[in-house]
Structure 1
Amino acid sequence: MGIVSGLVLFAVIWSMTFLIALPIRVQTQGDAGEVVPGTHAGAPEQHHLGRKALWSTLVAAIIWAICATIILSGWVSVADIEGWLHPNAAPTHGTGG
């Protein structure tokens, strides 16, 4: 895995963890009891984006380290994944074709 592919993998993992973290602990205007005229009661009052970005970064770094270790160590190869996806297919590596 090269530097660019490692950064792309981290960006994808970070985006997924951030999107998962967004709805956690959101205090809506309806919960706070102060609905701004012209807005929906479900609009966020406190969203804690900074904390969520920090936690997403920490969790994504841990998940990325696990994924990078598996990829770089060779515990799971592309051939293994292809074997899981297509168990009845004949192996093509080493046959000259």
Structure 2
Amino acid sequence: MKPVSLAAIYLLFWTLTLFAVLPFGVRTSREEGQEPVPGEADSAPANPQLGKKLLWTTLISAVLFGLFWANYVFGWLEVADVPGWG
């Protein structure tokens, strides 16, 4: 597989993982006991902790991509093995 294809697939894993990780640990201003900023959405997080979430996203997506790549190299699961697809 070409390096550009590997990078694109990793980017897909990373993006999907980011959207899965973003909601964890989110607390709104009201849940934190703070006054919301005028014009702020009620659901806006008080402290989104983006750095921590980006680190978790990178780690989780690296593991998932590693499993994908290992399956590609070693052929553990192929399309023909999935019921209804092969």
Q: TM-score, normalised by structure 1?
A: 0.75
1:40 counterpart residue number:
41
Structure 1 consecutive aligned stretches of length 4 or more whose deviation exceeds 4 Å: 81-84
Instruction: Tell me which moved more, 69-78 or 25-34.
Output: 69-78
- Distance in 2 (CA, whole Å) between partners of 1:6 and 1:81 is 23
- Give the secondary-structure state (helix, strand or coil) at the position aligned to 2:37: coil
Give the share of equivalent positions with the same residue, in percent: 31
The structure with the greater share of residues assigned to strand is: 1
- Give the secondary-structure state (helix, strand or coil) at the position aligned to 1:51: helix
1:83–1:35 Cα change, 3 Å: closer
1:39–1:2 Cα change, 3 Å: same
5+ residue gaps, structure 1: 87-97
5+ residue gaps, structure 2: none
Instruction: Tell me which moved more, 27-36 or 46-55.
Output: 27-36
Shift of 1:82: 8.0
Contact 1:30/1:42, CA 8 A, preserved across alignment? no
Shift of 1:34: 1.8
